[in-house]
Structure 1
Amino acid sequence: MLIGGLAIGYIFSEFSGKDPVSTEMAKGDGPCPDGAKALSWRNPMNPAITSPVAAKDEMGMDYLPICAESKKEKKILFYRNPMNPAITSPVAAKDEMGMDYIPVYDDGARSGPAGTVSIDPTVVQNIGVRTTAALQKTISRDIRTVGRVTFDEQRVARLHPKVEGWVEKLFVDRTGEQVDKDSMLLAIYSPQLVASGEEYLLALKNWQILKNSPFPDIRKGAKRLLQTSLDRLKLLDVPEHQLKEIRQSGVVPKALHIHSPFDGIVMNIGAREGQRITPETELYMVADLSRVWVQVDIYEDELPWVRLGDEAEMELPAAPGRIFKGKLSYLYPYLDANTRTNKVRIEFANPDLVLKPEMFANIRLKASRTVDAVVIPSEAIVRSGTRDQIFVQRGPG
């Protein structure tokens, strides 16, 4: 049982689905316990309003009796340290600060577990203690924040040549242009590429001559040489259609064709016709925007609510009234020291390309839910500054 200060005015019934225990006496026993006299009656909603007789307020609620102290003599069970209730004494005593121990009387209440506090029903009525039942509910929290649309890093390609040479022709020469997978972007002339193609042709002719040789070692050597020269061309990114052209025509093409690795949009072009290029030259940047990331900042106190897979809704100033749905896919393992926020990544489908990199968006993150949580009113919690406590009522008083 949690013990706290009494100022909150709430005492909780144990969670069992039963109604809270009332502190009123049964009507047949009179308004006050132990036959005590009711001195006056007070308004249950406004203690400053009293009545000399029993009455009801404007909401139909009964006035509460203000009872006289019972004249029944009570037996002292023991004495308790006023600063530390766990320290008791069978006789009257003083603590190290000279304060008198407080007597604990036998008021007929049931004994309970260690730490149980008993309150005289008269005191309960006079101070207006209220009770309410703790409930089991599913609780959740929506986190509202802003985000920024970015590329899906797994859907971005930066194309570099693997040989030195010169740009013969650009088939795509404008940024922002939509390209399909395997469509040609540009053609490169490279002496190194031509030399490797000639080696492949020689190895191919050698294999055609020696493939029917009666000597196994000669056949294996010719086949190995052919495969090695073919692998070299593939490592230089010679496309399959040009390899097929070399085999069928017996001629090495002058230019190497560079193709798009997937459907996407040309975001940058780093070369022009006639330009000399090296492996360090970025020829194209191609991005697939059919799926995008949104980077979102979450404050420290919101992190315990965030889980991978949480659903999110996004709205854009550029698309008023439209709601995009996505899921949280990654929680970055570090905090921003300046803003005290943690970055998270949310993925959104973008089939019609409405979402564009660098757009700002309003995000509502549907944080994970806690099922069957015990909930109580916030004002019933006693906050000491170091911990939170509540009262649990186990019976009258």
Structure 2
Amino acid sequence: MNKNILYIAIAVIVGLLAGWLIFGYSGSEANANKDVSEMSDNHDHSGESENQMWTCSMHPQIMQPEPGDCPICGMDLIPAESGADGLAMNEIKMTENAMALANIQTTIVGNGTMSEDDGMISLSGKIATNEENNAVQASYFDGRIERLNVNYEGQKVNRGQLLANIYAPNLVAAQQELLTTASLKESQPALYKAVRNKLKLWKLSENQIDAIESSGKVRDNFPIYATVSGTVSEVMAREGDYVKQGQPILKVSNLNSVWAEFDGYENQISNLKIGQKIKIVTNAYANKEFEATISFIDPMLDNAKRTVTVRATLKNTDDLFKPGMFVTGKLKGELKMNDELITVPSSAVMWTGERSLVYVKTNPNEPVFEMREVTIGNRNGENFTISKGLQYRDEIVTNGTFSVDAAAQLQGKKAMMNKEGGKTMTGLEGHMGIQGDSVGKSNTKSTMKMELPNVFQTAFEAALKPYFKMEEAFVVSNPGQVSTLAKTTLDKMKAIEIGSLGKIENSHLSKCIEMLDAISSNLDLKKQRAQLVVLNENIVALAMNIKSPLETLYVQKCPMANSYKGAIWLSTEKEIKNPYYGDEMLSCGSVIDSIN
């Protein structure tokens, strides 16, 4: 009986213990979940998701306010990097590692004393022949050129030198008249004199006429002698040609004086005056300056280049200057010193055509930058004067400006081509974001819109034809064909007239030539594609300034090329055919801009 009671008691205790373990623990867990739920309900999440942007890991240029699929590759979008606390809409914070990789450098700007070069205006130009000293050697009678003694450009001629022998049927008849009237000069002196004068009008000398008369023989060929001294600048006829009376045979230039012709831009016109002193430097004599005086300023503005021709006359008795030689002219502008004058390097300024922007470091102890719009005054050499937007002692980015701007776009901030912030990067972001800084070799060159002469644009478009064929060879991964077509493109590029190009434009063209030369001289496809990155940066920079291309051109970008820094290229088709990967990732990329 006692044993039964004991067993029952033990069973009750075990049952109570089991019931507590089951129902008591569940209730505690429910209460805990209830507390967590209440805490979650009371917490405000609106601030966490309100500004959240979504991007693609493969195509970081995609920025959308909601999750979804990448419109380029279809991958799931991931949350973009959140902005740092306490940053304004225009501000961006970068890591020290990113600063070092992009080689970002800053400079504190100021006013105060002006350096010796401040206020100096720099003009680019070339030596031209002095047209006031040009002369044309023409034929004085109809005939056929039997012999041409001066037959190439650059040949020196002296006054009285024999230039050519011409067979002239009219002179043969005139000689017959002379010999006939010579026997009648006593009885008909007026007729005799008229025949002699006719020969003189054909530039025959008294001695030549007397020689014909005394010999009594008719000459078939007559010489033409130089009437001026100089250098042959153009041969306008060849042996065997039939020429008319007055038709030019040679153009002769006297190079004892030459013209230095410069392009003056609209914003420089107010500082240019006739009679103003100008210092001229040439590449041939880099350590020597030549002084001259401005003798002519073209009253008409060139609509294509938006420049006026500024001319100075140089003495050239020592034959130092050669027509076609590039020169740089420096003259003092009327730049007045004042407390508001701020000068910054041109590499600090980004120019979109509508506005000019710089990045200012707002925190001296942290890499925090703010995009700021500025107003540009004159350009003096490699510097800009800022009339509005900056203050004395502001610290601005002077190297790596476009890398900072690209980082701002990736974080959904306001940027050069992304005025509102938080939107998909479009337009020139690929081109401008890569140029110069991304390759880690040079400062960005395309800070200003380029002025490309019409003759340059025509020749440049001709060079693009083999360039597009070279890209097709990259697409099919054929290094031999790439090398051959790069050589063809190189020859076309070298044939481009660069006389009227500015420093920035000439720098882009020179880089194109350098990269094409490198691509054509090796058969390593990997190296060729690395060189193609730099080539395309410069080709696109020039192509973006073509006013009316013969066909629509598309600027395309692959975000994975160039070690995931992204790389651009130019195409005549919207369809993506990636030259950096070929069949491996043929369709990777997107159209970021077009040139219509």
Higher relative contact order (CA 8 A, sep 6+): 1
Per the normalisation by structure 2, the TM-score is 0.34
The structure with more helix, counted as a fraction of residues: 2
Bigger radius of gyration: 1
The structure with more strand, counted as a fraction of residues: 1
